[in-house]
């Protein structure tokens, strides 16, 4: 390796680092050199400094870890970007505290058409269920709504329910519910998107939610001003990703509009992260509508912006009893949840998606949903033949012994979120652990069990459901504790957790030969951390911060 001639000079070098390449053949190094958006060398400081020319940008890692940029395998960029501007209610507990922060926020937003709070615990009032009357007592004359951290339940005050036209209830599709009170009026609790959509739409962020709510396109088409505002929401979300060391995003809601906004940003100044946006198939669609997924995939297929995926929701969540279980809920023994598709409908869909050569990612939280989705993938394999399809199951909060080996057998990826197990990070133990019941605890959020059974496990935050920070996810995975002493240990080692945010993420997008590893010829996507992550005690991992993020050879974040 020598630096004769400027043609060999690196555009950028990172020196003085503890480089964890995630490349088994060359696991550790001191420095990395980058040119034309790709890694050209990984090695000793002396060897890499040979590639330094007069114009080479030098980044001193100061002994901190240097990793492949994080690959976020499940998140919601557009709504996450929008929510950065909402009232953040995580960690707020009790009526008085809730009243204080909501009133303070309202006073700073005199113009807002709808005040929106995010991340309020289901147990914010302990055992008492939140109703519109609680919220009326806080804010009687302005519309207010607030979402649970999982984004599957919202609560609204009377003003908001009235303005949205749902105070007297409304018939909704399966799995969605406007909870009614004894007085015959909506109680304030709104379960799933069809129930709270009308309230959220009043916030003027309807376009943000489309990719999640319907997968459809804005109608009417947004004005130039609205488009510019939406691009700014995307930019805010992308910057938030870059500051957390993320270089690739696998988005889990989408439509053509999101792809267009990102393509516009790409054309204007370049994207700071690589983004995959899926086509979102809903249960009211027909199979011919998958044509749009194929069109999105053909039109957007660069290393920066792509589609190639169909996202589906099979069930809801445990906390509102909308997740689909094999056996009844432990605290509602006549109820197993209601799927958004019949198993046959889902299998037909899986066959059709697979036949188009597209990848599929399906939200499946209960063990009944996980089973039906695996059945669908099996049907696709039988119908279309076995191929390297890498279909995914998202969340897998509960599964069964019978289904664990099927992930490896069918080549299905387990996409899991270390911040999600109750007690692991921000989510309280209750009500979730009582819904699941001790008999199912051993196979709840069972990353270790699935990995040991040969499944590819990818990690993510599901932002804005959980904080986006991959290092918090890594800490949660490393420090995971069983709910009962008799439950198996589901924790991951640091190395396994890092792999689930890098190489395994690359595998999930068929890119393990181009990214997720620091290796010559790979994309120059990397993150420099503030400390040596391997020498950091698990309890201190959250203190390790991204200092520099580099994507495609360009610095996208600098602390």
Smallest gap from Cβ 167 to Zn ion, in A, equals: 29
Smallest gap from Cβ 491 to Zn ion, in A, equals: 23
Query: HSE on the CB side for 125, CA within 13 Å?
Result: 12
In the structure encoding, which two tokens stand for residue 13, read together? 């070098």
Using the minimum distance from each CB to Zn ion, give the nearer residue, 445 or 483: 445
Using the minimum distance from each CB to Zn ion, give the nearer residue, 135 or 148: 148
Smallest gap from Cβ 363 to Zn ion, in A, equals: 6
Q: Catalog residues that contact Zn ion under the rule CB under 5 A.
A: 252, 462
CB-count exposure of residue 236 (10 Å: 0-12, 13-18, 19+) = middle
Smallest gap from Cβ 452 to Zn ion, in A, equals: 25
How far, in Å, CA of 418 to CA of 448, rounded?
Answer: 11
State the residue for tokens 């004769």.
4
Residues forming a β-bridge with 32: 14, 42
Smallest gap from Cβ 311 to Zn ion, in A, equals: 9
Q: DSSP character for 49?
A: H
Using the minimum distance from each CB to Zn ion, give the nearer residue, 365 or 541: 365
Q: Where are the alpha helices (DSSP H) in 109-223?
A: 132-138, 158-164, 193-201, 206-213
Query: HSE on the CB side for 502, CA within 13 Å?
Result: 27
Using the minimum distance from each CB to Zn ion, give the nearer residue, 252 or 511: 252
Using the minimum distance from each CB to Zn ion, give the nearer residue, 403 or 462: 462
Smallest gap from Cβ 394 to Zn ion, in A, equals: 7
Q: DSSP character for 301?
A: B
Q: Classify each residue of 167-185 as buried b or exposed e, where b means 16 or more C-beta atoms within 10 Å of its C-beta.
A: bebeebeebbbbbeeeeeb
How far, in Å, CA of 237 to CA of 218, rounded?
Answer: 20
Smallest gap from Cβ 281 to Zn ion, in A, equals: 15
How far, in Å, CA of 335 to CA of 354, rounded?
Answer: 32
Smallest gap from Cβ 188 to Zn ion, in A, equals: 24
State the residue for tokens 């996450």.
80
Using the minimum distance from each CB to Zn ion, give the nearer residue, 121 or 462: 462
Residue 345 CA to its chain's centroid (Å): 26
């Amino acid at each position: 390796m020598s630096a004769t001639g400027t043609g060999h000079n690196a555009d950028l070098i990172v020196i003085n680092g503890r480089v964890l390449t995630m490349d088994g053949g060359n696991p550790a190094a001191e420095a990395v050199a980058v040119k034309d958006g790709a890694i050209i060398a990984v090695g000793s400081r002396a060897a890499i400094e040979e590639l330094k020319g007069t114009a080479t940008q030098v980044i001193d890692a100061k002994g901190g870890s240097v990793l492949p940029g994080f690959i976020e395998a499940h998140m919601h960029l557009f709504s996450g970007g929008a929510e950065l501007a909402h009232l953040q209610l995580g960690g707020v507990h009790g009526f008085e505290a809730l009243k204080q922060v909501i009133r303070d926020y309202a006073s700073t937003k005199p113009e807002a058409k709808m005040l929106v709070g995010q991340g309020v615990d289901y147990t914010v009032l302990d055992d008492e269920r939140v109703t519109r009357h609680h919220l009326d007592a806080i804010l009687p004359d302005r519309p207010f709504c607030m979402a649970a951290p999982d984004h599957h339940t919202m609560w609204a005050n009377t003003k908001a329910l009235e303005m949205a036209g749902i105070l007297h209830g409304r018939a909704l599709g399966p799995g969605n519910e406007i909870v009614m009170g004894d007085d015959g009026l909506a109680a304030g609790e709104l379960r799933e998107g069809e129930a709270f959509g009308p309230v959220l739409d009043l916030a003027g962020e309807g376009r943000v939610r489309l990719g999640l709510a319907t997968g459809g396109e804005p109608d009417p088409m947004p004005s130039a001003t609205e488009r510019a505002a939406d691009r700014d929401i995307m930019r805010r979300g992308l910057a938030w990703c870059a500051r957390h060391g993320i270089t690739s995003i696998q988005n889990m809601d989408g439509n053509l509009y999101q792809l267009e906004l990102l393509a516009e940003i790409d054309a204007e100044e370049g994207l700071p992260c690589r983004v995959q946006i899926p086509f979102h198939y809903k249960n009211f669609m027909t199979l011919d509508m998958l044509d749009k997924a194929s069109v999105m995939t053909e039109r957007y297929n660069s290393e920066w912006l792509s589609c190639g995926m169909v996202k589906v929701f099979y069930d809801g969540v445990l906390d509102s009893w909308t997740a689909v279980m094999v056996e009844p809920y432990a605290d509602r023994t006549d109820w197993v949840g209601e799927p958004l598709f019949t198993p046959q409908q889902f299998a037909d869909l899986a066959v059709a998606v697979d036949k188009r050569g597209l990848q599929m990612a399906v939200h499946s939280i209960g063990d009944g949903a996980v089973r039906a989705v695996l059945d669908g993938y099996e049907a696709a394999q039988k119908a279309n033949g076995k191929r390297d399809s890498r279909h995914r199951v998202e969340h897998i909060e509960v599964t069964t012994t019978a289904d664990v080996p099927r992930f490896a057998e069918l080549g299905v990826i387990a996409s899991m979120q270390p911040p999600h197990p109750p007690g692991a990070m921000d989510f309280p133990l209750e009500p979730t652990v009582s819904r699941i019941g001790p008999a199912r605890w051993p196979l709840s959020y069972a990353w270790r069990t699935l990995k040991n059974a040969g499944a590819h496990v990818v990690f993510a935050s599901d932002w804005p459901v959980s904080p986006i920070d991959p290092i918090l996810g890594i800490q949660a995975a490393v420090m995971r504790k069983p709910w009962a002493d008799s439950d198996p240990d589901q924790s991951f080692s640091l190395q396994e957790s890092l792999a689930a945010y890098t190489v395994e993420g690359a595998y999930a997008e068929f890119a393990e030969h181009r990214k997720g590893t620091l290796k010559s010829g790979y994309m120059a996507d990397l993150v420099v951390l503030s400390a040596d992550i391997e020498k950091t005690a698990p309890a201190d991992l959250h203190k390790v911060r991204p200092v520099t993020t580099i994507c495609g050879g360009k610095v996208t974040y600098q602390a």
